[in-house]
Amino acid sequence: MLEGHVELERYNRELETAFLAARNAGKQIISQRTNSRAEKSGLELKTEVDNLADRTIKRVIAEAFPNDSILTEESGFPQSPAERLWVVDPIDGTTNFINGLRAYSTLIAFVDKGKLVIGVSFLPQSQEMFWAVDGEGAYKGNTKITVSQMADIGKASIVLDPGYHPQGVEKISDAWGKLRPNVGNVGVLNAIMDTRYH
């Protein structure tokens, strides 16, 4: 943890809990990777590993903060949400995970009285931890991440993600056609993963 940062000190327990929950889920995801069978849920793919990681994260958070509410992609919204809310996606990029690609992560956010104050993104394959605390910037491990200083759009990299919307690919295709002549590079992949490296 970095010293001398007011919000980091204020939310240190929450941040450490998010780190622990993400790492524990990551271990489970890696250990179960070869056992992952996918089932379709609406427009998304789900695996039993999603559910196992979900339960692991909820257990870690509940042990540290038993009165907090937890909203997860797998189990939905709590019946009576508290002022302190955790938002979890145990495997962001399930399709990539199922297909053996590295581009997936565990996402955990903490909201205090309606304000998003912590965001954590853990990459199980590379063991990289990306995180941010409101007012304190974003970090990869203990190294602060800075916004690109690229001022020339003609040299900039743009990342597009079609998401799960039925017309997503069509919209991305249109956007690609409009952007491509004017920017340095246009990429399409898992946007959460891509933006961490561009």
- Looking at residue 45, what is its pLDDT? 58
- Tell me if 156 sits within 8 A of 149, measured CB to CB: no
Strand partners, 86: 70, 110
- Looking at residue 198, what is its pLDDT? 43
Buried b (16+ CB within 10 A) or exposed e, 116-148: ebbbbbbbbbeeebbbbbeebeebeeeeeeeee
- Looking at residue 43, what is its pLDDT? 45
Q: Which CATH superfamily is domain 6-145 in?
A: Fructose-1,6-Bisphosphatase, subunit A, domain 1 (3.30.540.10)
- The rounded average pLDDT for each run of 10 residues, N- to C-terminus, in the chain (198 residues) is 63 97 96 66 67 95 96 75 90 83 92 96 96 94 88 74 65 74 66 47
**Is 48 part of any known ligand binding site?**
no
**Is 91 part of any known ligand binding site?**
yes
Q: Where are the domains of the chain?
A: 6-145, 153-195
- Looking at residue 63, what is its pLDDT? 98
Rounded to whole angstroms, the Cα distance separating 105 from 122 reads: 5
Number of helices (H), then strands (E), in the chain: 6, 11
Cβ contacts of 31 within 8 Å, gap of 6 or more = none
- Tell me if 110 sits within 8 A of 118, measured CB to CB: yes
- Looking at residue 101, what is its pLDDT? 81
Rounded to whole angstroms, the Cα distance separating 63 from 70 reads: 12
Strand duo 69-72 + 44-47: pairing? unpaired
- Looking at residue 107, what is its pLDDT? 97
- Looking at residue 154, what is its pLDDT? 77
